Amino acid sequence: MTLLSVIGKRFSKNRLAVIGAATVACLMVISLLAPFISPYDPTAIDVHNVLSPPGRAHLLGTDELGRDVLSRMVWGSRISLKVGFVAVGVAISIGIIIGAIAGFYGGKADAVLMRFVDIMLAFPTFFLILAVIAILEPSIFTIMMVIGITGWMDVARLVRAEFLTLKERDFVVAAQALGASDLGLIFRHILPNALSPVFVAATFGVAGAILTESGLSFLGLGVQPPDPSWGNILTSGKDNITVAWWLSLYPGLAILITVLSYNLIGEGLRDALDPRLWDVEI
């Protein structure tokens, strides 16, 4: 049995993780098919149906401009997917590079880079994100970049720790003796063996990035209206809190379910990838 199929089998034994993966798959399909399945144009204003409660015409009601909430949520799912993957991609790339350099070369490079990590960790991250976004223009691109740039520290620490132990191992020393270059050692020999904790961190990272984006959009610093995102529908929920509960309830529920799914996947991956747990249950 290959390693991958062992991991796959262990993952699929975890019922909650499988439910999470299925939910995420559903969301991906929904966001791909958004133009076909959303019942209305998500930005179409309808002054005759302002703030109408959930009913037959509008399953999840309408907002203060008469826009269909369900359609806006279907289109908003695209934002969540995009933000999650791009932001985490950025964070992981930075984290891997910094962690690899620190762990592989050690010494001064390690000391300086880890100090940098400490400094970044000392900032209340949300303040930093908010400041950068307010200073640059709030847009989906800025958000993805900024969440990535402020979220790489954990990955860097994980990768560094893996590198510290892996670089002493015989196969690395052997490759070095055979004349492998530093780059070759880092990317060909060590990194592939250091990736499993990174995958787990990435999955949890996607969950965190989606939460952060929704918070930013809620504050008006994320996706700008009229473009829909789950966070900015919640802003209308807050503005109409005394009259339209449906504007608050449903988008938040969508965020909760999505984030929960990624967290469940992450937990499942962690257990599946941890060799210490293998002999116990197999």
Partner 1 sequence: MIPLILGITLITFIVIHLAPGGPVEVQTEMSLKTSAQARENLKKLYGLDKPLHTQYFEWVGRFVKFDFGKSFVDGRKVIDKIVERIPITLTINILSLMLIFIIAVPIGVFSATKQYSLFDKVSTIFVFVGFSTPTFWLALLLMILFGVNLGILPISGIQSIDVSEMGTFERLADWVKHLILPVGISAFGGIAGMSRYSRSSMLEVIRQDYIRTARAKGLIESEIVFKHALRNALMPIVTILGLSVPGLIGGGVIFETIFAIPGMGQLFYSSTMSRDYPTIMGILVIGAILTLIGNLIADISYALVDPRIRVRNK
The tokens describing 134, both together, are 């307010």
CA-wise closest residue to 24 among 266, 274, 273, 271: 266
Smaller CB distance to partner 1: residue 50 or 219?
Answer: 219
Distance of closest approach, residue 242 Cβ to partner 1, in angstroms: 5
Q: How far is the CB of 52 from partner 1 (least distance, A)?
A: 18
At 67, list the tokens. 């826009």
Q: Kindly tell me which of 213 and 227 has the beta carbon lying closer to partner 1.
A: 213
Of residues 208-247, which lie at the interface with partner 1 (CB under 8 A)?
211, 214-215, 218-219, 221, 234, 237-238, 241-242, 245
Largest CA distance in the chain: 77
Give 86 or 221: the residue with its C-beta nearer to partner 1.
221
Q: CA-CA distance, 132 to 222, in Å (whole number)?
A: 12
Where in 126-155 is the site for partner 1 (CB under 8 A)? Answer: 126-128, 130-136
Of residues 120, 117, 269, 253, the one with CA closest to residue 204: 269
Distance CA 244, CA 164 (A): 55
Judged by CB under 8 A, the number of residues near partner 1 is 44
Q: Which of residues 98-117 bind partner 1 (CB under 8 A)?
A: 115-116
Q: How far is the CB of 92 from partner 1 (least distance, A)?
A: 20
Q: Which of 69, 74, 91, 207 binds partner 1 (CB under 8 A)?
A: 207
What are the residue ranges of helices labelled H in the chain? 3-13, 15-32, 34-37, 69-105, 107-122, 125-135, 140-149, 153-166, 170-177, 182-184, 191-218, 230-239, 245-273, 278-281
Our finding on whether 120 is near partner 1 (CB under 8 A) is yes
Nearer to partner 1, 139 or 248 (CB): 248
Q: How far is the CB of 42 from partner 1 (least distance, A)?
A: 20
Name the residue among 144, 123, 176 with its Cα closest to residue 80.
Answer: 144
263 binds partner 1 (CB under 8 A): yes
**Using the rule CB under 8 A, which residue among 125, 139, 193, 224 binds partner 1?**
125
HSE-up of residue 236 (Cα within 13 Å, Cβ side)? 25
Q: How many CB atoms lie within 10 A of CB 272?
A: 22
Q: How far is the CB of 31 from partner 1 (least distance, A)?
A: 19
| Chain residues in the site for partner 1 (CB under 8 A) | 115-116, 118-128, 130-136, 207, 211, 214-215, 218-219, 221, 234, 237-238, 241-242, 245, 248-249, 251-252, 255-256, 259-260, 263-264, 267
